[in-house]
Each structure stands twice: as C-alpha cells, then as structure tokens.
Amino acid sequence: MNPSEPAPDGSTRRTVDVDVDVLVVGAGITGIYQLHRVLEAGFSATLLEAGGGVGGTWYWNRYPGARFDSESYTYGYLFSKALFDEWEWQEHFAEQPETERYLNHVVDRFDLRRHVRCDTRVTAADWDEASGTWSVVTDAGTELRSRFLVAATGVLSVPFLPDVPGRQDFRGASYHTGRWPTTPVDLTGKRVAVIGTGSSGVQLVPAIAGDVASLTVYQRTANWCTPLNNSPIAPDEQAQLRADFEALREILNTSIHGFHHPAHDRAAFDDSAEDRRAFFERMWNSPGFTKMTSNYTDLLFNEAANAEWCKFIADKIRSIVEDPETATMLIPKDHRFGENRPPFVTGYYEAFNRPNVSLVDVKATPILRLTEHGIETADGEREFDVIVWATGFDFGTGALLRLGIHGRDGLALADHWADGPTTFLGVQTTGFPNLFFPGGPHAAAGNNPRYNGDQVDFVTDTLVHARDRGFDTIEVEPTSERRWTDMVDRGAASASFGEISYYFGTNIPGKPRKYLLNSGGRPMLFKVIADVRATDYQAFRMSRSSAGSGDRSEPSVTG
C-alpha cells in the first residue's frame, strides 16, 4: 500500500501502485478463470477482491445450508483434465465450504494467489484517454494502472436489504445470507426470523430448524420448490466421471443451458394423464435442475402443461405439510413454474411440521416495522434474537454500478446505464474502452460458470487478437452494441411468463424494468461470438493508443 503524496500544486496525489496489462476485479468463479486465462496468454495481471478470501459467491454466501443446485462437476472448471481428475467432489451438489475449498485449491494449483489481493475494494475506475489506461482506486487509497479492466463482479453479489422502517432499531443480531460472517454464528436455542423464501431462504430454513428455539419464516411470495435430491458421490461414480470427462466437457461446453441433462422428447399432452403423473413423479425424484431441463418440452411455453406440473407440486406440498393452512400458504398462487427462478430444497416443506417452525404470510400481514426486540406485522409484534435477511440481490448491474466507473470524457457508467444496461454480448459497452465485464448483465441463463466461461474465453481471445495486430485499445462499435441490446430487449417479452423475477430488476425499488439476461441464451452467445470471429472482430473498433505508439491509428476494423 503506498501512501498518498503531495503533488506540486499542493493537491494530494496517489502513488501508482502497479502497472499491469489486465486488472481483474472479483475473485469469484469468473474472475479466477479470467485471471488464469490472461496470465496463460502472457499478459501481466492482478486481481482485486473485496472479500477476505477468494470464492466470490462461495465466499460470501456461507449461511448454513448454502450449496450448489447445479451438479458439482458441471459447475467446476473444465479447462484442465488434471484438475478435474484430482478434485473429488464429495456430493452431487456440494455445500459452500467444499466449493470455497475447491476455488482456493484452483488458485493455488495454478499459482494464481500471488496475483490476487484480497480485502481490497475498488472505489473508482477512470479511463485515461491520454495514456489509454484505466486508473483504478481502492478503498486503501491506492491507485493501480492497467491497460485493460475486467470487472468480474458477478450478477448476484450486492445484497439487497429492504428499507423496512426501524431496521436499525433492532437490537438483536442481523445477517444477510449474502454477507454471512466468516466467524461461526451460533443459532442454538435462539429465536430466529428468516425474511425471504427465494433459493437462499429455503436452503437456510431446514438447515437451522433443528437447532434454533423457534424459527419464523416471513414469506412474501411462495416459490415452486422441488427436491434437490442430493447424494454423496460414490467411488464408482467418481471413476465414471473421470472416464467420461471428455464427453461430459463436450456436452457442457455446447449445451443450451450448460447442464448435462438430456432433454425430453415429449410434450405434456403427448402422454395420458396417468403417464404424465408417472413422469412427474420421476421428475420430482430426479436431481436439481432436471425438473426444468428434462421436463416436458412445452413446460415453459404451454400454460396448460405448466399448470399440470404446478398442480402436481401443489399436491406434493399438501401431502408433506401436515397443517393444511400452512400448506396452502406454501403453494404459489401468483406465478407459474419457471417464472421465478425455481429453488431446489432438502427438507424445506418438512421443516414446517416441526413445532418450533412457523410461517408468516407477509402479503396478508405486511411487515410494518422492526422494533428493538423483533418484527411488527399487521397482526402484532414477534420477538427475536436473530433476524436473517434472505432478501436477495441487486441483480445484474448492482456490482458494476457501484465500482465508480467513468469512461471516455468522464462518462459515468451509472449515467450511461440510467435506463438499464446496453451491452455487446454482455461483455462490453460503448464509451468505456478496454473495459470488459464477463459474468455481468445480458449474458445467458442456466449453469452460470459455463456461459460466464464462454465470455471469459471470448474476452481473452479478443485481447490476444488485438495484441497480435499491435492494438491496445478495444471498444465495441455502437451498431454492435445496439443490435445485441435490441435483441435482449425484444426477447424480454418471451423471457418469462410474467414480471415477478429479479431478472427484470423489479425487486429493487427504483431500478428500471429491463431484462437483465439475454433471452437468446447461450446459443445466441455462441452464434454472435462465432460471427465476431468470422468477421475478424469487426464488431470492435481497435486502435493503438497515442501513449503506446506515438500516434493514434485509424481503427483497424469497423463494423
């Protein structure tokens, strides 16, 4: 850390700390891979991470019960067979500590740690036109310089805390699932409230229900939860996975959603009612996301097909939850399966059969305020020792907009995206040369590391392409960005049955309603990346910075 020093004009000037080709921000699964790829390609690089360790999502979300709902071996990296062979995932859906260990192993295994600075939060990043570099300032007041800036800051990394009156008044302990402490939290014998029943809340509830004195779940929207069906990976399965690695990698690198699940070949009403029920039963007992990826082909497009599946799940909920009133509350009434991101659970519905677990419907009895001792709803105050906010994240743009990024002519990214993000391929935006954000908004949906990895590979190849041609400044052409963004916006209507999803940003008050994924998904990503390569990267304007060459060249290619 370098101290600030006085400039000749008396102002305080920061000392430039490092000068590298590539600064990566964020040590999650995307940032770690990006660091590896650029180092491997011969660029110098440093990675800055706000957390005390690497892992990103798998560093911050360490609440009890946090685990994958993608199969472990399909979520982990595929770039190295040696890595795949040597890391034996213990469970089909690994718990957070195992994933954190895995990502630390990768960092050490590929000698990345000496390039990583943890406990370092980026507070500003300014494009310097004269030198063609990014000036990045950290919370320690250090300035770092780089030619390229890759913000791998994640789509689900900025926790959302609702502005509930009196939130600061509560005198017990409060935690957000996305900022769970690294020091152990002992909930034994405590009166605990959990607010929120998305993927995080429904993982947490059964994990703590047996330890706490009482657990009160505040539910605003019931979700279509189905069983994760997790299990340990047996030794023969480990051996089979290794033997099948190349085939598995091929499937995962090419599949639409990044999973290895085979697609079904029948629509819901191709089957008789009896066969449909038997099929749904098989789905219910199958692992994780297969209930989406291997279900009837028309599940997400045909309302009647979706309704059949929802009715099946509702019957399951009623058969598990003993109290009929609670069961009814747990059955979604305002959206269909797949409209919200479906959570996958282990013992969630069963937890409500415990005498110490209760459910509060926040729509029927809204939370009015927090008090010193607990939560006051329309039907009175309940006292708690601990409140857990499982209230989600500022999805897609949250982290990027908090980096204090300013591009050409001082344009703030926050202003540029005031009406929602505009991107090309979900990796670049006009006016911000040499800034890339793989794993950001407008990517795809599905098994996250797979399409984020596609983007990292593309970013790396683009940097190499520019370097090979003597260019050091890369900026997407406005027409390319417009086309991609129009495609995203046009597709938004077909992206979901409704508007509930945080994929539209509507969970954050005041956030513009914009679709934050790319409805063409991974196939669209593949198609446009192939087009870019086939047309010699004409989607980008590439040039030599005046600092690099003494004169600014004409763009090499224009689109």
Footprint on this chain of ligand NA7 (rule: CB under 6 A): 156, 162, 177, 195-201, 218, 220-221, 341, 362, 367, 390-393, 502, 507
Min separation Cβ 506 and ligand NA7, Å: 8
The Cα angle at residue 48 between residues 44 and 50, in degrees rounded to 5: 175
Give the separation between CA 355 and CA 342, rounded to whole angstroms: 27
For ligand NA7, which is the closer residue by CB, 78 or 345? Answer: 345
For ligand NA7, which is the closer residue by CB, 63 or 471? Answer: 63
Min separation Cβ 320 and ligand NA7, Å: 20
Among candidates 519, 174, 530, which has minimal Cα distance to 373?
A: 174
Strands (E) across 79-140 are located at 116-117, 122-128, 133-138
Residues 6 or more apart whose Cβ sits within 8 Å of residue 421? 396, 397, 429, 440, 441, 442, 485, 514, 516
For ligand NA7, which is the closer residue by CB, 462 or 507? Answer: 507
Residue with token string 């009015």 = 368
Backbone angles phi, psi at 67, to 5 degrees: -160, 165
For ligand NA7, which is the closer residue by CB, 219 or 538? Answer: 219
For ligand NA7, which is the closer residue by CB, 127 or 389? Answer: 389
For ligand NA7, which is the closer residue by CB, 176 or 406? Answer: 176
Identify the DSSP state of 23.
E
Neighbouring C-beta atoms of residue 263, cutoff 10 Å: 12
Min separation Cβ 254 and ligand NA7, Å: 22
Count of residues making up the chain: 559
Min separation Cβ 556 and ligand NA7, Å: 39
Min separation Cβ 174 and ligand NA7, Å: 14
Min separation Cβ 503 and ligand NA7, Å: 9
Min separation Cβ 456 and ligand NA7, Å: 19
Among candidates 176, 201, 199, 173, which has minimal Cα distance to 187?
A: 173
For ligand NA7, which is the closer residue by CB, 75 or 502? Answer: 502
Min separation Cβ 74 and ligand NA7, Å: 15
Residues 6 or more apart whose Cβ sits within 8 Å of residue 106? 32, 36, 77, 83, 112
| Closest residue to ligand NA7, based on beta-carbon distance | 198
Give the separation between CA 434 and CA 412, rounded to whole angstroms: 15
Q: What is the phi-psi region of residue 317: left when phi exceeds 0, alpha when psi lies from -120 to 50, beta otherwise?
A: alpha
For ligand NA7, which is the closer residue by CB, 203 or 545? Answer: 203
